[in-house]
């Protein structure tokens, strides 16, 4: 997400993988991942989505390719842009992102 948004990037963006479904053994199905892209303001949504959804499609395409290389398997990546106000100041949200303390 960060690579494609460049200068337009809202400074408060996080990505959370909230569902990971492995395919059945021997299945031709890809690994299913659902990821939420957290933003803090509704006004950031059009930046992340892009005109006609072009930006989110490109983010998804690039992320999926990188995940497939890293995981060495086919991936179906389902992205959702979520407005989560104040997540940077929310201990539970930060813990969910892997930040302890």
| Cross-strand pairs, 101 | none
Q: What is the pLDDT of residues 1-45, one digit of tens each?
A: 555 555 566 678 899 999 999 999 999 999 999 999 999 999 999
Lowest-pLDDT choice from 25-29, 79-83, 97-101: 97-101
CATH superfamily of 2-96: K homology (KH) domain (3.30.300.20)
In the chain, how many H helices and how many E strands?
4, 3
């Amino acid at each position: 997400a960060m690579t494609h948004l460049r200068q337009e990037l809202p400074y408060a963006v996080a990505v959370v993988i909230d569902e990971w479904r492995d395919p059945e053994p021997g299945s031709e199905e890809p690994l299913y991942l659902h990821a939420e892209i957290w933003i803090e303001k509704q006004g950031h949504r059009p930046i992340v989505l892009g005109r006609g959804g072009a930006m989110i499609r490109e983010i998804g395409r690039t992320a999926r390719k990188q995940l497939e290389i890293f995981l060495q398997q086919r991936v179906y990546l389902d992205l959702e842009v979520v407005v989560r106000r104040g997540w940077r100041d929310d201990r539970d949200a930060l813990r969910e992102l892997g930040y302890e303390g």
